[in-house]
Structure formats: structure tokens, C-alpha cells
Amino acid sequence: MIFQPIKQLLSEEYVGRRVCLRGWIYRRSVVGGKAFVRVRDSTGIIQVVVDESNLGEELVKTLKDIGLEASVEACGKLVKQPKAPTGFEVIADYFNIVGTSRDFPIKGGEGVEYLLDNRHLVLRSPRYTAIWKIKHTVLEAGREWFNKNGWWEVTPPILTASACEGGATLFPVQYFDKVAYLSQSAQLYLEVMIFSLEKVWSLTPSFRAEQSRTRRHLAEYWHLEAEAAWYDMNDMMKVAEELVAHIVSRVLEERRSELEQLGRNIESLKKAVETPYPRIKYDEAIEILQKKGLNIQWGADLGADEERVLTQEFDKPFFVTHFPKEIKSFYMKLDPGNPRVVLGFDLLAPEGYGEIIGGSQREDDYSKLVQRIIESGYKVEDYKWYLDLRRYGSVVHSGFGLGVERVLMWIAGLEHIRDATPFPRFRGRIYP
């Protein structure tokens, strides 16, 4: 008995032939002496017809009361059926219940907290299957772009002895007789690696002890980061836009059916394939926001509301650059022409999704970096190794971090970032 993926059976090629499939019961109904069982696997859904005249009254009776998500095997003749959900059905001559399922707890209409408590079962839905396939392609496309353009993948640690993005969002852990922290970013370690490999990237989990619980914040997320020697801010912005354009292009090429299943506007995504992306400075962003009626002054950080308003001005991803130094990290290089701002950039996704990449040119001058560390309230001795990079052959270099779940949220058109990861972690919740 050779079992085939359901997607393969949804084809004229197999009509009239005996086929075999296996999967889980997605829907079922019994009319007269026939059971109409919709079976799903990782590739699709197909209707299987079990007729009591062929397979017995007892089986049809069992299927009438069987719970959703029971695992089954079936074989039979494949026929075209316009009334079937996917246009084809299997007239079964063999049907076997492999694993029973009683009172499956997800029936539709449950609240968010209930669904989160039962996340291990919710993830079976075809909607999430489509999301994970898109995420797979996002990751695959990112790796493909770096590999094709001469970058080296490296493996930085998850535990760190010092802060990268700010002490307020660190997760402390006991590391033998000392306190360590879960990494907020691989950036500092990637900077070490550029002195041997020049252009490096990594894909690692990052952790932020965010007190906010919003539609776009996670305490644990996947971080695609890049760092390169000899690259200034503009060089790295070009990398960022080409990477994102490639990812979107691959998703449109390989995951169109999943995007359509999720109701995504394909035409709006197509615009993100075209580069270069628009660029505005922080000063211009503040002017736009003030003209739109927002009460924001120069020096304030751009939050979700401000970013949402800015995205209304663009139909594709766009850069905001040259932020005030007070709202950005200590490692960002000050603009030589205006030391009030840093040579940093955020890449914002359109349609209200906001920041998906944050990057900058790094401070490569030893004394200036020491001053920035002190101004930020950190201990210079904690960054001795990092400062050594500026003492021994320092070079102009830049990098960025891409939030995988935020990119997926935008590309897939998701309402909440918790739907972009199988097991979302945020304040107050760690189960399962």
C-alpha cells in the first residue's frame, strides 16, 4: 500500500485510478448510508466517501460519531466531484481508523486565552499550516540570499555576560556561580567575526523582557542578523532592502496558494519586490507626524502608533534614518556632520506593520565608544573585549537585525504576532 500526499491527488492525472492517502479527519458528515469524510494532511484536504454498501454499516455508524482529528488511512478510486471542497473525492474501498479522537476541544468560537491554553492542538488547523509554510520559505530565502552573495553563516552564543540593547529588557539566568543573560542580539559577537570572515550572518533566538504586551511584541523571537566589515550605513541599507525584496519574491513565487488561503492582498506585496526602497530622515518623519496631528516632538522615539501613521505615506517598505542618539544604542556611530544623531536606520513595512529591521553603522573609534558606553550607564570593564575590536585593526563596519516573526506577520497579513510563532512567549504566559 503506497500512500500519496493529498496535494498530489488533486489532479486530473489520477482520476479513475486507485489511490491511497492518510491523515486526520478535518470535517465529516453522514447522509443516508454514506459518510463524507474530509481528510487533511500537511499538503491539502480531500473528501473521502465511505459507502455502507461497500464497507459496511458499522463503519459508517462509527464515522457518524467519530471525533475530529482522528487519524485515518483510506484507499479507493479518485473521481472528479465539483461539489467536493477541493473538486475531487475518493470513493473508498478501504478505510482504517488509526487513532481515535473524542471530544476534540477546538470547535470554533473559543476565546484567545482558551486557544493559547490549547495551542498544542490549535496548531493543527490549515490556517497555521499555511503560516508555517510561508515562514519556512522566508527563512529559506534569507539563507539563500546570504549564501549567494558571499556571506558566511556563523553560530553566536545564546548566553551573554553583558547587555546589547538595554539592561531593562534582559532575562537573567544563573550560570554556575555567576549571573548571565539570555541574548538580546548576536550583534556584538558578529562584530568579532567580521575581522576574520568580513561578511557574516546568523539566525538565532533573541530574548527581550518586554513589559508591554502588544500585537507586535514577543519575549522570544527569531533574529536574522548580519554584520560586515568595510560597509557604511548606506551599504548596509542596500543589503537590507535586497534581502527583503528577495524574501518577498520567493514567497510570492512559492507560497501564493498559502497567501491566498490567508486572504493576503498579493498585489500590495508585489511592490516590495522593487528596490530601492524610499528613505526619509527622522526629522522628516517628525514633520510628517506633526502635520498628521500627532503630538510628538523631536527626540521622542517612534512607537507603534507613530509608525502606523508613517506607513500610510508609502506603499512599500521604507527606511527612516538618522535618529537622535538618546533613543538609540551606544554602539551606533554618531553622524560626523551632526553628532546629535546616529548613523542608524529602521526599515518599516507598509500597511501599518511598522519596523521589521533595525540597523546602523557601528562606532569604530575606541575613545568615542568608551564615552558612549559611559553615557549609557554601562560599565566599561564589561565591554573590554568589545573595545578590543577598536584597538586592534578597527574598520568601518555596519549591521542589522531582522525580526523573522515581524516579517512573517507583514508578508502573511497577520493581525497579531503571536500567530507568527508556534509557541508565543510574552509577559504572563509561557505555556505550553
Dump strand ranges (E) for 129-195: 152-153, 159-160, 172-175, 178-182
DSSP output for 318-384? EEEE--BGGGS-TTBPEETTEEEEESEEEEEETTTTEEEEEEEEBP--HHHHHHHHHHTT--GGGGH
Q: Are residues 243 and 329 in the same domain?
A: yes
Closest CA to 234 of 322, 123, 171: 322
CATH code of 63's domain: 2.40.50.140
Same domain for 201 and 340, yes or no, is: yes
pLDDT of residue 33: 94
Chain segment 335-392, per-residue pLDDT in tens: 999 999 999 999 999 999 999 999 999 999 999 999 999 999 989 998 999 999 999 9
| pTM of the entire predicted model | 0.94
- pLDDT score for 428: 77
pLDDT for 161? 83
Q: Is residue 426 a part of any domain in this protein?
A: no
pLDDT tens-digit readout, 272-319: 999 999 999 999 999 999 999 999 999 999 999 999 999 999 999 999
From CA 386, how far away is CA 190, in angstroms rounded? 11
User: Is the distance from CB of 397 to CB of 231 less than 8 angstroms?
Assistant: yes
Average pLDDT of the segment spanning 79-102: 96
Comparing CA positions, the residue from 357, 346, 139 lying closest to residue 246 is 139
3-state secondary structure of 143: helix
Q: Which of 64, 99, 134 is the last residue of a domain?
A: 99
Is the pLDDT at 165 greater than 70? The verdict is: no
| Confidence (pLDDT) at 303 | 93
Q: Which residues are within 8 A (CB) of 101 and not within 5 positions of it... i.e. 6 or more apart?
A: 25, 66, 67, 68, 69, 70, 71
Which pLDDT tens digit goes with each residue over 47-71?
Answer: 999 999 999 999 999 999 999 999 9
Across the chain, mean pLDDT equals: 95
Percent of residues, the chain, with pLDDT higher than 90? 91
Altogether, the residues listed in the chain come to a count of 432
The candidate with the shortest Cα–Cα distance to 428, out of 255, 242, 229, 213, is 213
Taken in order 151, 157, 161, 163, the sign of the CA dihedral is: positive
**Cα–Cα distance measured from residue 218 to residue 413, given in angstroms and rounded to the nearest whole number:** 17
Q: Return the closest-CA partner of residue 251 out of 268, 236, 238.
A: 268
Predicted pLDDT of residue 163: 65
Q: Do 290 and 344 share a domain, yes or no? A: yes
Range of the domain at 55: 6-99
Q: Which of 99, 128, 153 is the last residue of a domain?
A: 99
Please check whether residues 124 and 93 belong to one and the same domain: no
C-alpha 130/C-alpha 419 separation (Å) is: 11
Q: What is the DSSP letter of 168?
A: G
Look at residue 263 and tell me whether its pLDDT is greater than 80.
Answer: yes
* Pair (54, 148) in one structural domain: no
Judge contact between 79 and 15, C-beta under 8 A: yes
| pLDDT on residue 164 | 66
pLDDT, tens digit, 9 for 90 and up, residues 327-344: 999 999 999 999 999 999
Q: How many CB atoms are closer than 10 A to CB 413?
A: 15
- Domain holding 189: CATH number? 3.30.930.10
The pLDDT of residue 88 is above 70: yes
Q: Which residues of 288-313 are buried (b: 16+ CB within 10 A; e: fewer)?
A: bbeeeeeebeeeeebebebbebbbee
DSSP 271-297: GGGSSSPPEEEHHHHHHHHHHTT----
Residue 408 sits in the same domain as residue 324:
yes
92 has a pLDDT exceeding 90: yes
Are residues 244 and 383 located together in one domain of the fold? yes
pLDDT digits (tens, 9 = 90+) for 180-236: 999 999 999 999 999 999 999 999 999 998 777 788 889 999 999 999 999 999 999
Find residue 429's DSSP bridge partners. Answer: 426
- Measure the CA–CA gap between 394 and 77, rounded to whole angstroms: 70
* Mean pLDDT, residues 81-102: 96
pLDDT of residue 166: 60
Of 99, 133, 149, the position where a domain reaches its end is 99
Amino acid at 275: T
- For the chain, the domain total comes to 2
Q: Are residues 286 and 352 in the same domain?
A: yes
* Model pLDDT, residue 167: 62
Classify residue 273: in a domain, yes or no: yes
